[in-house]
Amino acid sequence: MRSRKRRRDLMWGLVFTSPAIIGLLWFTAYPVLASLYYSFTSYTMVGPPKWIGWANYADLLTDQVWWSSLWNTVYIVVWSVPLGIVAALGLALLLNMGVGGRSVYRTVFYLPTIVPAVASAVLWMYIFDPQYGLLNDALAKVGVAGPGWLSDPGWAKPALIVMSAWGVGNLMVIMLAGLQEVPATLQEQASTDGAGVLSRFRHVTLPYVSPHMLFALVTGLIGGFQFFTPVFVMTGGTGNPAGSTLVSGLYLYQNAFQYFKVGYASAIAWMLFALVAAITVATFRLVGRRVYYGGR
Cβ atoms of 210 and 201 within 8 Å: the answer is no
DSSP single-letter state for residue 50:
E
The segments of the chain whose pLDDT lies below 70 read 1-2, 295-296
pLDDT of residue 1: 58
Q: Which amino acid makes up residue 2?
A: R
pLDDT of residue 30: 96
pLDDT of residue 2: 65
pLDDT of residue 35: 97
How much is the pTM?
0.92
Distance between first and last Cα of the chain: 43
**CA-based nearest residue to 241, from 151, 116, 124, 145:** 151
**What whole-number distance in Å separates Cα of residue 266 and Cα of residue 203?**
46
pLDDT of residue 4: 84
The burial class, CB within 10 Å (0-12 / 13-18 / 19+), for 176 is: buried
> Residue 50: phi, psi to the nearest 5?
-115, 125
Per residue in 90-130, pLDDT (tens digit) is 999 998 887 777 788 888 899 999 999 999 999 999 999 99
Which helix (H) or strand (E) is 252 found in, with range? helix 248-253
pLDDT of residue 210: 94
pLDDT of residue 296: 53
**What whole-number distance in Å separates Cα of residue 75 and Cα of residue 224?**
10
Cβ atoms of 217 and 283 within 8 Å: the answer is yes
pLDDT of residue 32: 96
